[in-house]
Amino acid sequence: MEQNILNISYHPFELLFRYPFRIAHGERTFTPVVFVEIAHNGLLGYGEAALPPYLAETTKTVGSFLESSKPLLKKLNDNFSLEELELFLINLNEAFPGNKSAKAALEMALLDLWGKKNNLSLKKIFNPHSLPDVFSTFTIGICGPEEMKLKISGANEFSIFKIKLNGISDKKNIELFLNISERMKSNRKVSFCVDVNQGWKDKFLAMDMVHWLSEKGAFLIEQPLPVKMLDESAYLTERSPIPVIADESVQGLEDIEKVKGAFSGINIKLMKTGGLYIAKKMISRARELEMKILIGCMSESSCGVTAAAHLSPLADWADLDGPYLIKNDPFEGVKIKDGKIWLPDEPGMGVKKN
């Protein structure tokens, strides 16, 4: 009997920000993504490749990769097991290096489909034990007083904020955030961290800033110095009163050894790693090296963020606010309630199309 083929389709889309998103790299109003669907026997598995402009992938490269992957996909048994899926992903990585966002999207769709076919939630697969409370940050890009006030007031479900800095008026922006938060006091106790996106260029300035930020209450700082300044990052981390987390400095499993000692921990994003399985291996290796874990996301919809959220119980911190930063989310999935991440219970990833 002829095998019942897994049918793949994909659709480019633009996620629109609620407010212009400004960081040290620049400003943008949208993020291109590609949504992937894999169909079998009336079931659909969903995946997402998010493509911010500072990454190498584009809608064109994602489409090309997915077309190239079809012959390998046809060899995957339509009733594949998780072991067969892992072997498929290994073969895919060997055949097509790079393409990490595209691989993450394909893996998501296959895992989602597997869960639906087996009537199992991925929450039970990736987190078989009781889940600890995990809270997500809400990102505030570089902005003026009125916009910051609107962002804080519109993030009622969050109590932890990530403030973007760029080396220009950083102290002023932090004071602004603290003043607005104080004036808008409610029942929530607000805390914050910062993300510099390589925006500082001098280790001595960075040293002064991390001590000042610590005094102001910041609990971590993300990628303060450029990727190439690894020795300077090590100097800073050794003397910093708060954890220094690598983001742009760690793109995959092979980078973790390189940054040991230069950072306190790493930010893991599925769009950088290539998927959940590799991300989980990165968590294990980082733990062996006694490094902290932040589970993050790009500007993604509820599809991609829900996938990443399944790893959040394994992390020290989470930054999974993507769906709350956009205004045209085509999916429903993970939710933030009283600051806490709530994973869906439905089969597969638990995402639904709006």
Tell me, yes or no, whether 91 and 223 share the same domain. Answer: no
Percent of the chain with pLDDT over 90: 88
In the structure, what pLDDT confidence band is assigned to residue 108 with cuts at 50, 70 and 90?
very high
Q: What is the per-residue pLDDT for 2? A: 44
For residue 103, give the CATH number of its domain. 3.30.390.10
In the structure, what pLDDT confidence band is assigned to residue 206 with cuts at 50, 70 and 90?
very high
Tell me, yes or no, whether 78 and 134 share the same domain. Answer: no
Tell me, yes or no, whether 103 and 129 share the same domain. Answer: no
Last residue in a domain, options 58, 87, 120: 120
Q: Tell me if 2 is assigned to some domain.
A: no
Query: Please, what is the average pLDDT of the chain?
Result: 94
Query: Mean pLDDT, to the nearest integer, of 292-313?
Result: 97
In the structure, what pLDDT confidence band is assigned to residue 318 with cuts at 50, 70 and 90?
very high
pLDDT of 114-133, one tens digit each?
999 999 999 888 876 767 88
Query: Mean pLDDT, to the nearest integer, of 102-119?
Result: 97
Query: Mean pLDDT, to the nearest integer, of 244-268?
Result: 96
Last residue in a domain, options 90, 120, 150: 120
For residue 128, give the CATH number of its domain. 3.20.20.120
Query: Mean pLDDT, to the nearest integer, of 80-108?
Result: 95
Tell me, yes or no, whether 142 and 97 share the same domain. Answer: no
Q: Which of 137, 194, 112, 90 is nearest to 325 (CA)?
A: 137
pLDDT for residue 189 is more than 90: no
Last residue in a domain, options 96, 120, 144: 120
pLDDT for residue 181 is more than 70: yes
pLDDT for residue 54 is more than 90: no
Q: What is the 3-state secondary structure (H, E, C) of the chain?
A: CCCCCCEEEEEEEEEEEEEEEEECCEEEEEEEEEEEEEEECCEEEEEEEECCCCCCCCHHHHHHHHHHHHHHHHCCCCCCCHHHHHHHHHHHHHHCCCCHHHHHHHHHHHHHHHHHHCCCEHHHHHCCCCCCCCEEEEEECCCCHHHHHHHHHCCCCCCEEEEECCCCCHHHHHHHHHHHHHHCCCCCCCEEEEECCCCCCCHHHHHHHHHHHHHHCCCCEECCCCCCCHHHHHHHHHHCCCCEEECCCCCCHHHHHHHECCECEEEECHHHHCCHHHHHHHHHHHHHCCCEEEECCCCCCHHHHHHHHCCHHHCCEECCCHHHHECCCCEECCEEECCEEECCCCCECCCEEC
Q: What is the per-residue pLDDT for 186? A: 63
Q: In degrees rounded to 5, what are phi and psi of residue 178?
A: -65, -40
Q: Any idea which of 47-51, 89-93, 170-174, 186-190 has the lowest mean pLDDT? A: 186-190
Tell me, yes or no, whether 160 and 76 share the same domain. Answer: no
pLDDT for residue 3 is more than 60: no
Q: What is the per-residue pLDDT for 125? A: 86
Q: Which domain holds residue 21?
A: 7-120
Tell me, yes or no, whether 215 and 345 share the same domain. Answer: yes
In the structure, what pLDDT confidence band is assigned to residue 44 with cuts at 50, 70 and 90?
very high
Q: Tell me if 159 is assigned to some domain.
A: yes
Q: What is the per-residue pLDDT for 184? A: 74
Q: Tell me if 156 is assigned to some domain.
A: yes
Tell me, yes or no, whether 190 and 332 share the same domain. Answer: yes
Tell me, yes or no, whether 153 and 41 share the same domain. Answer: no
* 132/318 Cα distance (integer angstroms): 13
pTM of the full structure: 0.95
In the structure, what pLDDT confidence band is assigned to residue 183 with cuts at 50, 70 and 90?
confident
Query: Mean pLDDT, to the nearest integer, of 207-214?
Result: 98
Q: What is the per-residue pLDDT for 1? A: 35
pLDDT for residue 316 is more than 60: yes
pLDDT for residue 39 is more than 90: yes
| 126-130: Cβ within 8 A, 24+ apart | 126/276, 126/280, 126/310, 126/311, 127/310, 127/313, 127/314, 127/343
Q: Tell me if 203 is assigned to some domain.
A: yes
pLDDT for residue 273 is more than 90: yes
| Total count of domains within the chain | 2
